[in-house]
Structure 1
Amino acid sequence: MEIDFAKYLPIVAAVLSATFGYIFGIRTKQNDRLIQYTQENLKEIYSPMYHEMKKIISDLINPKDRELMLDTFFERYIDTNSSIYKLGNLELLDIFYELSDRYAQFKLTRDECQWKEIWWEFENNLYYRVEEGYRNSTNLLYRDFKWQQYIQTKPYWMKAYFESMKFLFETAKGLSVISALLVYFSGCFKLIGLSLFPKDFWLFSIMIFGFSVLATVLLMLLNIQYITLSSNSKNSFIRQVAKKLFPKMLVKWNRLFIKKDYNKVPKMHEKGFLEG
């Protein structure tokens, strides 16, 4: 079948202009606000909270000092002047407030079983999520830091080459997504009998999608340095994709293989009579 590409150019041009107009217009403002909020959150809450918790769970801390540090930790972030709201995550805030209440009850009962439960939640739930937020914020702000350091030391012609390859790679990825949407919608309209597109537009969309994917793969090989330097994660590619697309499902999957091992819980501080 011979396809007249010329008659599809106005449709493709309209879709591309609308899509890129959205990407480089509205999303630019949203991204600027996101960067601003992330900088504030990382400086004022995520970094201090993460490093404080990291000290608390250290094996080098004795039980008495650990409990005193926990007292200070919960008192600081439950205070009326606390900036914990800047975590920006209601689920994480609920975990903190619930754990804070349970810790306050433990301080009255001094029950060892209750201590084990609280510590396990503190280390494996609250700390894990704060660490995740800290790493995500750092990655967002400094994702291209190593890449920019790398190309700034190169001659101008190599710098132009690397930047051009990066632009083409990111453009090819965007075109792959857009062409996949064209295939989806044109295919759906074809199945239900709507004639919003020309008769053979679905076949044309498949061809564009195939070329876009092929271009993305080829450009990926030419951008290995960029992909490597702009990635701050030690996770496998599959886990990175799952974490981005299905974060809650990944957490549930991980918990299927996690059992509460109380043998690793640090010893509770036994208060003496004079300590009250």
Structure 2
Amino acid sequence: MEIDIVKYLPVATAILSVTLGYMFGIRTKKNDRLVQFTQENMKEVFSPMYHEMRKIISDSVKPRDREQLLDAFFEKYLANNTSIYKLGNLELVDTFYELSENYRQFKLLRDEGLWKEILWEFKNTLYYKVKEGYRNSTNLLYREFKWQQYIQTKPYWKRFYFESMKFLFETVKGINVISALLVYFSGFFKLLGRGLFPKDFWLFSLMLLGLSLFASLILIMPNIQYITLTSNSKDSFSRKVMKKHFPNILAKWDGLFLKKDYTTVPKMYEKRLFEEE
């Protein structure tokens, strides 16, 4: 069955224009405000809270010191001038207040069962959520930090090339999403027998999705540096692919070329058994 592509181009172009206009235009102000709030939240609550909690749950902390750290932790974030609300997550804030109330009960009763419950919730619920927020905030603020450092050291024509490839890559990713939605809705209404979309528009949407996916694959290579530098992960994009699909080959590669040499590592301090701390 032949498809008259020209007939459907105005419809597809209008949908793509509106959606891409929203993605790259209207959302800009909201994103700017989000970044501003995230910077403030990161500095005043997420970063200090996350690192205080890391110290509290550390195995090296003595029981007495751990309780004193907990005393200081709850006293700080329950004060009149607390910044706890800047977590921006009511579920997380409620979890904190519930845990603080349980800790207050423990200080009165000194019950070991209550203590174990508090520490479990502290580590596996509150700390987990704060850590997740901390990492998400870091990723939002610094996702393109290494990428911008990389391209700013290049000549202007290279910067133009890299930014152009990045724009095309991100645009095509947006077209992929829109095309998939067009395929879904046009196919859904076609099954229902509703004439919301022109005849054969489903096939046109499917063709558009195939072309955009093919374009995405082509654009991966010129954007490999962008993908790697914006991943904010210990593993590069290529290593992630290898780890997922070819773990045995990656292990052999690491064994050949990534051997660790410990000969230059400074010696460990040998603490005496009865040495004062």
Same topology, TM > 0.5: yes
Which letter does structure 2 place at the counterpart of 1:26? I
Contact 2:45 2:84 in 1 (8 A): yes
User: What whole-Å deviation, never above 9, does each CA across 1:62-81 have from its counterpart, x for those lacking one?
Assistant: 22222111101101111222
In the alignment, structure 2 segments of 5+ residues that lack a partner are 242-277
Structure 1 counterpart of 2:74: 74
Offset at residue 195 of structure 1 (A): 1.8
Mapped to 2, the partners of 1:161 and 1:26 lie a distance apart of 26
Tell which has more relative contact order, 1 or 2 (C-alpha 8 A, sep 6+). Answer: 1
Structure 1 counterpart of 2:49: 49
Mapped to 2, the partners of 1:103 and 1:187 lie a distance apart of 56
Offset at residue 129 of structure 1 (A): 1.1
**Are positions 1:196 and 2:234 aligned together?**
no
Mapped to 2, the partners of 1:179 and 1:219 lie a distance apart of 17
Mapped to 2, the partners of 1:64 and 1:189 lie a distance apart of 66
RMSD: 1.7
Offset at residue 234 of structure 1 (A): 5.2
Structure 2 counterpart of 1:166: 166
Offset at residue 148 of structure 1 (A): 0.8
TM-score (norm 2): 0.81
Mapped to 1, the partners of 2:219 and 2:107 lie a distance apart of 59
Q: How many residues align?
A: 237
Structure 2 counterpart of 1:136: 136
For residues 147-158 of structure 1, the aligned pairs below 5 Å read 147-158=147-158
In the alignment, structure 1 segments of 5+ residues that lack a partner are 238-276
Mapped to 1, the partners of 2:127 and 2:218 lie a distance apart of 41
Contact 2:20 2:174 in 1 (8 A): no
Structure 1 counterpart of 2:269: none
User: What whole-Å deviation, never above 9, does each CA across 1:1-29 have from its counterpart, x for those lacking one?
Assistant: 22222111211121012112222333112
User: What whole-Å deviation, never above 9, does each CA across 1:135-155 have from its counterpart, x for those lacking one?
Assistant: 110110110001111111222
Structure 2 counterpart of 1:30: 30
TM-score (norm 1): 0.81
Report the identity percentage. 71
Structure 1 counterpart of 2:90: 90
For residues 1-276 of structure 1, the aligned pairs below 5 Å read 1-233=1-233
After TM superposition, the runs of 4+ consecutive aligned structure 1 residues lying more than 3 A away are: 233-237
Structure 2 counterpart of 1:270: none
Mapped to 2, the partners of 1:150 and 1:203 lie a distance apart of 42
User: What whole-Å deviation, never above 9, does each CA across 1:112-162 have from its counterpart, x for those lacking one?
Assistant: 222112112112221111111111101101100011111112222222222
Offset at residue 83 of structure 1 (A): 1.2
